[in-house]
Structure 1
């Protein structure tokens, strides 16, 4: 198994069409080695979508001549930051290792009875460029893996592009993820994303993108983020309207302090007509998400 304490902490960022080029040309990355890989991924579920309903992703990944099996639980968080359990191990070939899956905590309850019904449901094929980065002062450095994924999701006869960056904390403090993301946002058009590749594929297959109810500032930011994710995968204009309405409501929310309000008010005008962010959107959205997460932690 990948780890005895398999908690993945990462910050996911959706990139505008010009984002990948801007990211690879960022001066901060110029002195760091880059690794390029081709990843072929197949996600499994029952025909009834039992894993998707439980917010669990199960995949086989072919990379560098190996096949890796991965189980991920639902991410907890928002504003692009998520924490979730993850188990990953190498398997002999392109068939599921059902015996090992059956031993994992997510499959100890109701899901213990669905293993024999698992079958391929969607695929995500992409090119990954990755950098191993150290953030923070000497002696207190955090290790972050930055990856840039470009490719597509294929699900239920539908396709949608993958164009995203992920910052995964390999060691150290989550604060380092925010610092690096804000550094990149200075020159890269990006925005937080709260949708995993698996959840995007599931929604694509069913052509159903539900949005959560919102009350607090963090919930309105989450709703806006999911609406933008849904718009770019569905191309349904109603989701772009939902995102703009959520951002407008957020900007006037009575619970925001003056600093958070300034960030929130910068967001609606920093999206273009196609719902793509400019650099100002990324900086304001990340700064706001960071502030909201910090205030939530203090409560």
Structure 2
């Protein structure tokens, strides 16, 4: 029997500049020890961007004197929640381990030919603060499951050639338990922290930054319109092109009028436009409404 493919289940939340300070004061974190690390990350692709086209990320990460090798596939989900295949192991040195890569499922087909051509394409350098949440979750999650969530706050930048864009985000990763706990924790944070769901990984943001091209998916269902709005906000903050902020508002307005929404979901959708400021940053009400809407559309 083959071993199960490892899955990463997480919610990604983008923060405005005021977000980190608000997060550090949240009562859920008051008695939880925090660790801090400087992370230097190099992403690899072929000169023709074969991995980006396949939505696969290959990364070397230096942390505390160790080098970690990571491979991730495309995330499935929206509203900030994603599930993706992930493989991670300690690398023997600061070079790609092509032998180990060749054994992984993403490189069993045509992409196997791409391995010898991999070169560095972008960097993400940031400081990570990390909290391990276990016992405190019982006060917010209506479940008896033994949950463990790793909450990280990343602050730094993505560097791709001459282009740079800031990183200021929370990731909630489910280490043990049920995804329900991720939603309840995210909603609890949103009560006091200005935030918004983000559907773009650091690697995807770097690839689009390098290409100076931010494609948006077509949408028909309410969940697809929410996903399009979220990606448009991600694109606006990395590109600083006002057209993407306009497209985000257009997607939100279309979502609010969608005939498939029930009354409660429509209430959440109608609250979104006024909860974004003129710079496309979330005010306090945005995160709560967007997360509640995403949860309702997903379940």
TMscore range, shorter length: over 0.9
Q: Would you identify which runs of 4 or more consecutive aligned residues in structure 1 move more than 6 Å?
A: none
2:181 to 176, 181, 195: 176
- Contact 1:72–1:87 at 8 Å: present in 2 too? yes
Q: Alpha carbon RMSD of aligned pairs, Å? A: 1.0
1:109: Cα distance to partner?
0.5
1:273 is paired with a residue whose SS is: coil
2:269 to 264, 271, 274: 264
Q: Which residue is equivalent to 1:188?
A: 193
2:214 to 184, 209, 214: 209
In the superposition, the TM-score normalised over structure 2's length comes to 0.96
Q: Which residue is equivalent to 2:237?
A: 232
Q: Which residue is equivalent to 1:9?
A: 9
Residues 98-247 of structure 1: matches in 2 within 5 Å?
98-134=98-134, 135-136=137-138, 140-247=145-252
In the superposition, the TM-score normalised over structure 1's length comes to 0.96
1:5: Cα distance to partner?
3.4
Q: Which residue is equivalent to 2:83?
A: 83
Structure 2: gaps spanning 5 or more residues: none
1:140: Cα distance to partner?
2.1
1:27: Cα distance to partner?
1.2
1:156: Cα distance to partner?
2.5
Distance 1:290 1:35 in 2: 30
1:256: Cα distance to partner?
0.2
Distance 2:245 2:130 in 1: 31
Distance 1:4 1:220 in 2: 33
1:114 is paired with a residue whose SS is: helix
Between the two proteins, the alignment pairs up a number of residues equal to: 292
1:25: Cα distance to partner?
1.1
Distance 2:284 2:171 in 1: 17
Q: Which residue is equivalent to 2:57?
A: 57
1:139: Cα distance to partner?
5.3
Distance 1:74 1:138 in 2: 29
2:77 is paired with a residue whose SS is: strand
- Contact 2:183–2:291 at 8 Å: present in 1 too? yes
- Contact 1:156–1:206 at 8 Å: present in 2 too? no
